[in-house]
Amino acid sequence: MSIDPPDQVARPRMRLQPTPAPAPPPAVAPTAGLTNGIGHELIRPAVFDITDMSVHYGAKRALAWTTLKVYRNLATAVIGPSGCGKSTFLRSLNRMNDSIPGFRVDGQILYHGHDLYNKATNRVEVRRRIGMVFQKPNPFPKSIYDNIAWAPRNLGMRKDLDERVEKAIRQAALWDEVKDRLKSSALSLSGGQQQRLCIARAIAVEPDVLLLDEPASALDPVATQSIEDLIHQLKNRFTIVIVTHNMQQAARVADRTAFFSLDSVERVGTLIEYDTTEKIFSNPVDTRTRDYVTGRFG
Amino acid sequence: MSELPAFDPTAPLVATGNLQRRLVVSGVVQLLSWIAAGIAVGVLAFVVIEVLVRGLAVLSWSFLTTNAGQFGGGGGIGSAIIGSALIVAFGALIAAPLGVLCAIYLVEFAPRRSPLATVLRTGLDMMQGFPTIVIGLFIFGVVSKKQSGFAASLALAMVMLPLIARTSQEVLLTIPQSLREATDALGIDRWRSILTVILPTALGGIVTGAILAIARAAGETAPLLILDGLFNASHTTIDIFGHGVPNLPLLIWEAAEGGTPAELSRVWGIALVLLGLILIANISARVLLARSRRRMGL
């Protein structure tokens, strides 16, 4: 196990399956560009350790040859053109694709050393630890309070429910706007507020990872700004993976960026380059990355 | 396509040639649909008004609350209203949970192209088309072997079951998939999501479907002839397991068979009560549906 940075609280390690999977030797994270803000380089543990991942929908291959590590308490952006497998990649990280007919994943996705697609792995437990926020805000047709309280209630976290709800809404920077109308319908909120409510709902169960699938693409610039500010704050507590169409957004919020694109020979989405955001946007190694981030793609 | 004829763009903007002919055809078709709609509404209005006028002549508080005379002939319909309510209520108590559970299985749990789901779906469709007299015969000959109110409830449940299952399915299908994704992403079991998010959202529509099915079953006469025809309408009974209980459809039938002028005027009163109950059920179902649509944000 690598050393936790001093400003991080170690999370309890829980098993995803009854039989312990042999944990691979601890990965030593690359340290380039990762500092704790006072100049010390950090060694971060990997939350996801993905090796040669590929995804099929029936006979169609949507993603191939993808190997990368996602580090704890960083915001990792996934960028790339449409149809390059970004969302497929993200949704495979908490098994949201399982319900799609013909979905198959090959290679290995380790989450804290546990195989996500092991037979014994329970996908409900996976999603309880790896939350997700979707492109379109999808609040329940319930009150604002009940939207947040629903999951904790069903998970048996009934103790101090009011405090938990308030804390989640505060963390999602929504408290001042809704504190006087917690009992009114969540559908009465604006699009940006609904999306922050969905983020509050996701963090109310205290997950380990937050997956954000283009969380601001349906929102106006002001709401987008508030979501981005939020991501900056949330990464102190959660590991964040965000898929975005918007390169400036990736540059603004992410510590590390993965660029996905279509492989030129086989026309299948794949990881082209993965590095610190600074490196990807200022000095990428691959010409395809450079063409994309400078807007010369196509 | 042949080339369009050259036209003069400065000519007056009035219909000529082909367009004129099409406008005539359009007008004729519109007129015919108006007439057809008028006939349909007219028949309904004619029936309702006729029943209303003739029924109101005999309708009174004592007609509704007193029982019929000893051997048919005169008297009120109190016992029949209570009996009809009992057998329909027990039928609904059996059919509603079964129907809703069938719909939940078909929409939420059945794998795609599952043979069981196909059989169930086809079976429900066929059941909806069953002659109700055959249902009555089946219950009498195979299940109950005697007349009783409960036997009638069973038959009415068989009438209601496919209707409730079908409308519940349709309501569940209108619930956006994004709502299910939202519950999945929080790491909650599907059955809990169904119980606390999906069903509450669909409740208005499901209740509407159930009310419409109840309204349909309340007027069902054929199975009652076999299962619930021997009753003493001068006596109020709530013992649906013992004997036949008085009911409205068969009271209409008996009064109409009676043939005396007094009986023939009485029959319209009974018809008005039955029709009124069914219309009220229908209208309230529609109001409920509209309200639940608004709540769902559709």
pLDDT of residue A42: 57
Lowest mean pLDDT among A16-25, B38-47, B175-184: A16-25
At B158, list the tokens.
């068989």
Per the rule left: phi > 0, alpha: psi between -120 and 50, beta: everything else, A60 is beta
Q: Which residues contact A258 (CB under 8 A, 6 or more apart)?
A: A68, A76, A77, A78, A79, A271, A273, A274
Mean pLDDT calculated for residue range B69-74: 67
Residue-wise pLDDT tens digits, B191-217: 999 999 999 889 888 998 999 999 999
pTM of the complete model: 0.80
Closest-CA residue to A168 (of A204, A195, A142):
A204
Strand order in the sheet with A103-111: A114-115, A103-111, A46-57, A60-71, A269-276, A256-262, A75-79, A239-243, A209-213, A130-133
Nearest to A140 among B184, B185, B197 (CB): B197
- Quote the pLDDT of residue B46: 95
Judge: B185–A131 Cβ closer than 8 Å, yes or no: yes
| pLDDT tier for residue B5 given thresholds of 50, 70 and 90 | low
Burial of B8 (0-12, 13-18, 19+ CB in 10 A): exposed
Q: What ranges make up the beta strands (E) of A175-238?
A: 209-213
pLDDT at residue A277 in the model: 94
For chain B, say whether A101 makes contact (Cβ under 8 Å): yes
Nearest CA to A183 out of A148, A223, A155, A156 is that of A148
Give the pLDDT band of residue B11 (cuts 50, 70, 90). Answer: confident
Phi, psi of A6, deg, nearest 5: -60, -30
Tokens standing for residue B131: 């002659």
B74 has pLDDT over 80? no
CATH 3.40.190.10 fits A71-100+123-293, yes or no: no
Contacts of A155 in chain B (CB under 8 A): 187-188
Nearest to A195 by CA among A225, A215, A213: A215
Distance from CA of B189 to the nearest CA of A (A): 6
- Cβ pair B65, B76 in contact under 8 A: yes
Per-residue pLDDT at B21 = 92
Q: How confident is the model at residue B69 (pLDDT cuts 50, 70, 90)?
A: confident
Question: Nearest-CA distance from B195 to chain A in Å?
Answer: 11
ipTM for this prediction: 0.78
Give the closest-approach CA distance of B281 to chain A in angstroms.
26
The model's pLDDT over B244-265, given as tens digits with 9 standing for 90+, comes to 888 999 988 988 888 788 888 8
Domain ranges of chain A: 71-100+123-293
- How many Å from the N-terminal Cα to the C-terminal Cα in chain B? 42
Q: Can you give the pLDDT at residue A135?
A: 92
Q: What are phi and psi of A113, to 5 degrees?
A: 85, -5
Radius of gyration from C-alpha coordinates of chain B: 26
Examine the pLDDT at B238 and tell me if it is beyond 50: yes
* Nearest-by-CA chain B residue for A92: B185
- Packed helices B149-174 and B78-104: angle between N→C axes, nearest 10 degrees: 40
Taking CB atoms and an 8 Å limit, are B196 and A154 in contact across chains? yes
Domain map (residue ranges) of chain B: 61-296
- In tens, the pLDDT along B139-168 reads 999 998 888 999 999 999 999 999 999 999
The per-residue pLDDT for A217 is: 86
User: Would you state the CATH architecture of domain B61-296?
Assistant: Orthogonal Bundle (1.10)
Q: What is the pLDDT of residue B262?
A: 84
Across the interface, do B189 and A136 touch by the CB < 8 Å criterion? no
Residues of chain A neighbouring B200 (CB-CB closer than 8 A): 142
Query: Which H or E run contains A57?
Result: strand A46-57
Angstrom CA distances, B79 to A133, B82, B87, B149, B221, stand at: 59, 5, 12, 13, 17
B189 has a pLDDT exceeding 70: yes
Q: Are B228 and B98 in contact (CB under 8 A)?
A: no
What tokens does B121 get? Answer: 């779906």
For residue B170, the distance in angstroms to the closest alpha carbon of chain A comes to 18
A94 close to B (CB below 8 A): yes
H or E element at residue A105: strand A103-111
pLDDT tens digits for chain A (298 residues)?
A: 444 444 444 444 445 554 444 444 444 444 444 554 444 455 788 999 999 999 999 999 999 999 999 999 999 999 999 889 999 999 999 999 988 889 999 999 999 999 999 999 999 999 999 999 999 999 999 999 999 999 999 998 888 999 999 999 998 889 999 999 999 999 999 999 999 999 999 999 999 999 999 998 888 888 888 889 989 989 889 999 999 988 889 999 999 999 999 887 888 999 999 999 999 999 999 999 999 998 876 4
Query: Cβ separation of A154 and B201 shorter than 8 Å?
Result: no
